[in-house]
């Protein structure tokens, strides 16, 4: 009996955590999409040939900054 109660509580906790995580990410679909696109852009820039007069490296740095800002924006919105 006690083991069944513990299992039920554990399952409830897992379901609640999944629901909350889904709500947090679903509440900001455009920011999440932007973050995904920026991360993919970074992957493509890293794969590009490096002979771009320093512009590729600068673009990677700017994308890193943009990723950081989007993550901060998502975090700020979740707290306010």
- pLDDT score at 43: 97
Question: What is the pTM for the complete model shown?
Answer: 0.66
Q: Are 30 and 70 in contact (CB under 8 A)?
A: no
pLDDT for res 6: 81
Give buried/exposed letters for 21-52 (b at 16+ CB in 10 A, else e): eeeeeeebeeeeebbeebeebbeebeeeeeee
pLDDT < 70: residue spans in the chain: 19, 21-26
């Amino acid at each position: 009996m006690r083991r069944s109660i513990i299992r039920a509580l554990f399952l409830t906790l897992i379901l609640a955590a999944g629901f909350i995580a889904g709500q947090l990410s679903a509440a900001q679909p455009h920011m999440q999409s932007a973050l995904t696109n920026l991360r993919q852009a970074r992957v493509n820039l890293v794969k590009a040939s490096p002979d771009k007069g320093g512009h590729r490296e600068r673009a990677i740095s700017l994308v890193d900054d943009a990723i950081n800002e989007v993550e901060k924006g998502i975090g700020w919105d979740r707290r306010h």
